[in-house]
Chains A and B, each alone.
Chain A
């Protein structure tokens, strides 16, 4: 049983918006990281990751987000997480991600905070 994972991306008000769908495991984390890197090379510094359609994550998948935060910190950029299930928000809190990344209820709210 291999999990399906899909990722969509769009640029909205100078922000890269990534929407995950499915299990954020090693593969999912890597997909997010690869998509981010494509845009980061082109100067994107504001990123939103919506986890609305991800009900399960694991710490290996989330570890890739630390790498994204690290890269954004170097250019004074910022990452926001949105639409999180409470257990996922708790996981990210335990890992300390919100010391460096923001959180918002919706994508629009995150974009507003980033601009």
Chain B
């Protein structure tokens, strides 16, 4: 139990609910003695994965399943929504220069998750989207 801690939750779509997951992640990481730097990066990954699920599900009311599996060496973050899905390959990589002068400054979630994680997998279809992120903690 000491070497592998898990947390599963289903989050309702209410404002800032991602902070509940972040709080759980913090507790697990402190328990395992993970460094502040790695905890900070894990917080960003969790936040982006959950807001991505809530923002882009395309449903008015929805739930998001979140699961963390953490050891002293590695964190696996799994986030699943039951929305209408999207084609990840059709999402254009954001560029700050292109964002300037346009109305839409958003759309950074996938880039941040890819760049800050050590492994990133996204599966999406008409039944929803699953994101798996792996973060090395040492």
Contacts and interface: CB of A to CB of B under 8 A. Distances in A.
A66 interface: yes
Given A3-B19, A59-B108, A87-B43, A100 B51 contact: no
Interface residues of B, number: 32
Interface stretch (B62-70, B84-92, B97-105, B121-129): B97-105
Interface string A86-103: 111011001111011000
Classify the secondary structure of A's interface with B. Answer: helix
**Which of A58, A70, A94, A97 has most chain B Cβ within 10 Å?**
A58
A6 interface: no
B120 to A, nearest CB: 13
B51 A96 contact: no
Given A85-B40, A94-B111, A58 B96 contact: no
Given A23-B19, A87-B44, A59 B96 contact: no
B71 interface: no
B20 to A, nearest CB: 6
Contacts of A100: 96
A88 B47 CA distance: 12
B116 A91 contact: yes
B60 interface: no
A67 B106 CA distance: 11
B96 A57 contact: no
Interface residues of A, number: 31
A69 B101 CA distance: 11
Given A56-B22, A70-B101, A87-B43, A2 B15 contact: yes
A11 to B, nearest CB: 26
A99 B51 CA distance: 26
18 contacts: A1-B16, A1-B17, A3-B19, A56-B47, A58-B48, A59-B51, A59-B108, A59-B109, A60-B51, A62-B108, A66-B96, A87-B37, A91-B112, A94-B108, A95-B111, A95-B112, A96-B95, A100-B96
Interface of B: 14-20, 22, 37, 40-41, 43-44, 47-48, 51, 55, 94-97, 99-101, 105-106, 108-109, 111-112, 115-116
Given A87-B41, A99-B97, 5 more contacts: A56-B47, A58-B48, A59-B51, A91-B112, A96-B96
